[in-house]
């Protein structure tokens, strides 16, 4: 997902250096010039008249530049930040930005210079090397417009990149040669976002970090002429040895994870459709995040549904029940109706959640959001319980703030219940109950170190909890990997999260333990997947062991007999075990979670490993 809904100008990279002689930096309109030759106390000086020092963040080092020293970003947590100033915003859509760029890797979004904090809706512009290995200028102005070329940079080689915007007309240059142009329009937004070099601090989440060297970053409040751009270019023959980032990985998997064609398809599974997507019938366009429980012989399910867009205040929580083990399903019921104001307009959502049976009573814990701060404004966990006499769901109020529950509560040996999930900013958090009082919970945020590690699930072993998270900050291009954090004190404190050695696409995983003593993880876990959210897989351990060692396909993107006309995304699983079967409920759909809700019953014996 691109972070900047903006107009884009795309250019290719010329691999050869220009023979133009080096000139001085044009002084007129210069509002920033960071050479990285003089750094002291974590500060990179600005040699422009503005003298706006850049704060060095992370553990950035210096390396040989095109002249003197250059900033070396490790692609993990290194970047520079310059405080916002009126002179760094360009509402008239007239400005120029240039830098010498030496990328050490391809295949990932890597920011060169930007002025954006997307999480706070502060978007102005950004110059980056994109995941398709092309340089792009992003400008926040209306719909997307794109000019694309196909040349790819060579890692370790210096290129001079310049973007010139003149009253909404953009030109991009590589090594002094014009490579792309487009009309981007005016005016541009003015926001309090800082200027960042080598990455973006998205309200605490580090994104698009640059792996390689940057030098001579310049910013002007006017449009440079073509001669002025060419005057900044000179031949650079020095090449850097390309370094690969060192990534510490937490062990979740034993050996090498197989590719999709090496993973066997499970047999003996009984499938059923809990709810088809039928907007023409019920008006609901979006369905996601199903959960399941058996209570007094009846299967209860619930999920988030929306007649509008995902994660908006029109979201509600719906469900169905089955009295015949999932073969047929009863009518829709509303569990979380959302919150409306005095004019009956929706102001807060009730979205997907999790069930718990405790003391003979059935509970459900739902995400509620819509008023307050954060990506999920004012996020809280609201509890409902089923009144058996009236067969109605009754709210018990918001019982925790800053948690979206994503796995059913599990009781720990010290007596409290534990729920993993994510917080209002879509970062991993967990909730711990006050004993058996399910209306009082403490929330603990996971130390994700500025990374986007989110949508947590877990295994609990006495005082030790292993938290497994969706990872949207991969350390290297290629396969994504699950992130992990560990607590040894029943969830009160946590290790800083790191990547594991288990491939995991960008979707919520689900962890559990079988009655056989085997750990399992349901997600999309194969090496080099052909699709990001298919096949749906289950990885298992040997009985009593921690490392996963075998993976099976539950369902492919197209399932014989399912009537699939197109490949389906298979994601957001939830599972429970009853009577020798693992009940796996999940989303199956296309596009932006235009999903059916499906159920797969897997014989436990099919998951046995030696």
The string of pLDDT tens digits covering residues 465-482 is: 999 999 988 877 777 899
Q: pLDDT (tens digit, 9 = 90+) per residue, 496-508?
A: 999 999 999 989 9
**Residue 151 confidence (pLDDT) above 70:** no
Lowest-confidence region among 20-34, 404-418, 548-562: 20-34
What is the band of 183 on the pLDDT scale with cuts at 50, 70, 90? Answer: confident
- Model pLDDT, residue 527: 87
From its phi and psi, is residue 591 left (phi > 0), alpha (psi between -120 and 50) or beta?
left
> What pLDDT, on the 0 to 100 scale, is given for residue 102?
96
| pLDDT surpassing 60 at residue 25 | yes
Residue 446 and residue 441: Cα distance in Å, rounded?
Answer: 16
- pLDDT for residue 328: 98
Q: Count the neighbouring beta carbons within 10 Å of the beta carbon of residue 518.
A: 21
Per-residue confidence (pLDDT) for residue 600, from 0 to 100: 98
Residue 604 has a CB neighbour count (10 Å cut-off) of 15
Domain membership of residue 11 (yes or no) is yes
Confidence (pLDDT) at 35: 93
Q: For residue 243, tell me if it sits in a domain.
A: no
Residues in the chain: 610
* Confidence bin at 15 (pLDDT 50/70/90): very low
Q: Taking residues 182-189, what's their average pLDDT?
A: 88
> Is 319 within a domain?
yes
Residue of 510, 493, 378 lying closest to 447 (CA atoms): 493
pLDDT score of 5 = 38
Domain-ending residue, one of 230, 246, 277? 230
Question: Does the pLDDT of residue 4 top 50, yes or no?
Answer: no
Is residue 262 classed exposed, middle or buried when 0-12, 13-18 and 19+ CB atoms within 10 A define those classes?
A: exposed
371 HSE (CA, 13 A, CB side): 7
Q: Say whether both 427 and 295 belong to one domain.
A: yes
Q: pLDDT per residue over 34-47, tens digit each? A: 999 876 668 899 99
pLDDT of residue 425 exceeding 90, the answer is yes
Smallest Cα–Cα separation from 305: which of 342, 353, 252?
A: 353
pLDDT at 150: 57
Which tokens hold the place of 70?
């250059």
Do 222 and 281 share a structural domain? no
Contact in structure between 609 and 518 (CB atoms under 8 Å): yes
Point out the domain boundary residue: 230, 245, 269.
230
- β pairing state of 548-555 and 410-411: unpaired
Q: Is the pLDDT of residue 6 over 60?
A: no
Distance of CA 139 to the CA centre of its chain: 22
Q: Is the peptide bond before 499 cis (omega within 30 degrees of 0)?
A: no
Q: Which two tokens stand for residue 174?
A: 């590589």
The larger pLDDT score, comparing residue 80 to residue 12, is at 80
- The residue out of 230, 250, 276 marking a domain boundary is 230
CATH number of the domain to which 17 belongs:
2.60.120.200
Residue 322 sits at φ, ψ, to 5 deg, of -135, 130
Q: Has residue 203 got a pLDDT over 90?
A: no
Task: Map tokens 């060095």 to a residue.
Answer: 56
Using a pLDDT cut of 90, give the percent of the chain over it.
79
Rounded Cα–Cα distance for residues 316 and 338 (Å): 5
* Residue 275 and residue 225 share a domain: no
Residue range of the domain that includes 270: 260-607
397 and 342 fall within a common domain: yes
pLDDT of residue 149: 61
Give the side-chain half-sphere CA count within 13 A for 190: 11
pLDDT tens digits, 106-130 = 988 899 999 999 888 899 999 999 9
pTM score:
0.83
Top pLDDT among 263 and 186 is at: 263
Give the contacts of 255 (CB within 8 A, at least 6 positions apart). Answer: 549
Lowest mean pLDDT among 375-384, 453-462, 554-563: 554-563
Instruction: Please report which helix (H) or strand (E) contains residue 512, including its range.
Output: strand 510-513
Q: Is residue 235 part of a domain?
A: no
Average pLDDT over residues 18-23: 41
Same domain, 188 and 322: no
Residue 159, pLDDT > 80, answer yes
Q: Which of 352, 485, 344, 500 is nearest to 427 (CA)?
A: 485
Query: Would you state the pLDDT for residue 7?
Result: 40
Is residue 248 in a domain?
A: no
Are 207 and 342 in the same domain? no
Answer for the pair 159, 99: CB distance below 8 angstroms, yes or no.
no
Q: What is the CATH number of the domain that holds 554?
A: 2.120.10.10
Please list the residues that pair with 100 across neighbouring strands. Answer: 160, 215
pLDDT digits (tens, 9 = 90+) for 60-111: 889 999 989 999 998 888 999 999 999 999 999 999 999 999 999 998 889 9
Which pLDDT belongs to residue 21? 38
The answer to whether residues 109 and 42 belong to one domain is yes
Q: Is residue 246 part of a domain?
A: no
pLDDT band per the 50, 70, 90 thresholds, residue 20: very low
- Domain membership flag for residue 244: no
> Looking at the structure, do residues 225 and 84 belong to the same domain, yes or no?
yes
- Summarize the chain as % helix, strand, coil (round to 5): 5, 50, 45
What average pLDDT does range 429-438 have in this prediction? 98
Task: Show the 3-state SS of 440-499.
Answer: EEEEEECCCCCCCEEEEEEEEECCEEEEEEEECCCCCCCCCEEEEEEECCCCCCCCCCEE
Hey, is 270 helix, strand or coil?
A: strand
Instruction: Residue 358: count other Cβ atoms within 10 Å of its Cβ.
Output: 13
Q: Indicate whether 407 and 530 sit together in one domain.
A: yes
Q: State the Cα–Cα distance between residues 406 and 421, nearest whole angstrom.
A: 5
Identify whether residues 310 and 194 lie together within a single domain.
no
Phi, psi of 607 (to 5 degrees): -100, 10
Mark 226-260 as b/e (b = at least 16 C-beta within 10 Å).
eebbbbbbbebeeebeebeeeeeebebbeeebbeb
Number of structural domains, the chain?
A: 2
Q: Do residues 180 and 307 share a domain?
A: no
Which of residues 140 and 66 earns the better pLDDT score? 66
User: To 5 degrees, how large is the angle CA 605–CA 588–CA 527?
Assistant: 65
Give the lowest-confidence range in 13-22, 33-42, 428-437, 512-521.
13-22
Q: Is the pLDDT of residue 1 over 50?
A: no
Residues 322 and 221 in one domain: no
């Amino acid at each position: 997902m691109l972070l900047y809904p903006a107009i884009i100008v795309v250019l290719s990279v010329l691999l050869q250096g220009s023979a133009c002689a080096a000139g001085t930096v044009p002084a007129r309109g210069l509002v920033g010039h960071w050479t990285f030759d003089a750094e002291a106390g974590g500060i990179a000086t600005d040699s422009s008249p503005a003298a706006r020092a850049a704060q060095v963040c992370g553990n950035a080092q210096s390396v040989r530049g095109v002249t003197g020293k250059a900033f070396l970003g490790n692609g993990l947590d290194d970047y520079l930040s310059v405080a916002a100033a009126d002179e760094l915003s360009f509402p008239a859509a007239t400005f120029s930005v240039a830098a010498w760029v030496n990328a050490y890797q391809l295949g990932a979004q890597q920011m060169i210079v930007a002025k954006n904090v997307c999480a706070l809706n502060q978007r102005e512009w950004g110059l980056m090397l994109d995941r398709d290995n092309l340089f792009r200028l992003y400008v926040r102005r209306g719909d997307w417009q794109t000019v694309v070329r196909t040349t790819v940079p060579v890692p370790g080689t210096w290129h001079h990149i310049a973007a010139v915007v003149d009253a909404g007309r953009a030109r991009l240059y590589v090594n002094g040669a014009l490579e792309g142009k487009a009309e981007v329009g005016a005016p541009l937004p003015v926001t309090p976002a800082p200027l960042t070099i080598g990455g973006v601090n998205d309200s605490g989440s580090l994104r698009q970090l640059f792996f390689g060297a940057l030098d001579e970053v310049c910013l002007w409040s006017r449009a440079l002429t073509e001669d002025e751009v060419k005057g900044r270019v000179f031949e650079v023959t020095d090449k850097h040895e390309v370094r690969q980032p060192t990534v510490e990985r937490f062990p979740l998997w034993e050996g090498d994870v197989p590719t999709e064609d090496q993973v066997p398809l499970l047999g003996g599974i009984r499938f059923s459709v809990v709810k088809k997507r039928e907007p023409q019938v019920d008006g609901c366009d979006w369905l996601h995040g199903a959960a399941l429980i058996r209570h007094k012989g009846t299967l209860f399910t619930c999920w988030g549904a929306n007649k509008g867009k995902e994660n908006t205040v029109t979201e509600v929580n719906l469900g169905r029940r089955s009295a015949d083990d999932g073969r047929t399903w009863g009518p829709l019921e509303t569990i979380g109706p959302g919150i409306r104001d005095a004019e009956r307009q929706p102001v807060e959502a009730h979205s997907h959640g999790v069930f718990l049976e405790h003391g003979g009573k059935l509970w459900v814990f739902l995400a509620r959001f819509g008023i307050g701060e954060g990506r999920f404004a004012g996020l809280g966990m609201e509890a409902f319980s089923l009144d058996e006499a009236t067969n109605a769901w009754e709210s018990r109020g918001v019982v925790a703030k800053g948690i979206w529950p994503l796995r059913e509560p599990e009781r720990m040996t010290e007596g409290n219940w534990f729920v993993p999930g994510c917080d209002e900013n879509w970062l991993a958090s967990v909730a711990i109950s006050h004993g058996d009082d399910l209306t009082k919970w403490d929330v603990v945020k996971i130390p994700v170190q500025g990374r986007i590690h989110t949508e947590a699930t877990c295994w609990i072993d006495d005082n030790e909890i292993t938290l497994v998270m969706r990872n949207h900050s991969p350390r290297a291009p290629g396969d994504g990997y699950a992130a992990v954090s560990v607590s040894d004190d029943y969830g009160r404190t946590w290790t800083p999260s790191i990547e594991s050695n288990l491939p995991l696409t960008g979707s919520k995983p689900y962890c559990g333990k079988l009655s056989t003593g085997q750990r399992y993880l349901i997600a999309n876990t194969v090496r080099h997947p052909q699709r990001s959210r298919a096949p749906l897989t289950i990885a298992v351990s040997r009985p009593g062991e921690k490392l996963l060692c075998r993976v099976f396909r539950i369902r492919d993107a197209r399932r014989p007999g399912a009537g699939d006309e197109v490949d389906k995304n298979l994601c957001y699983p939830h599972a429970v075990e009853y009577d020798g079967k693992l009940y796996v409920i999940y989303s199956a759909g296309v596009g932006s979670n235009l999903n059916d809700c499906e159920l797969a019953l897997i014989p436990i014996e099919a998951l046995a490993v030696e």
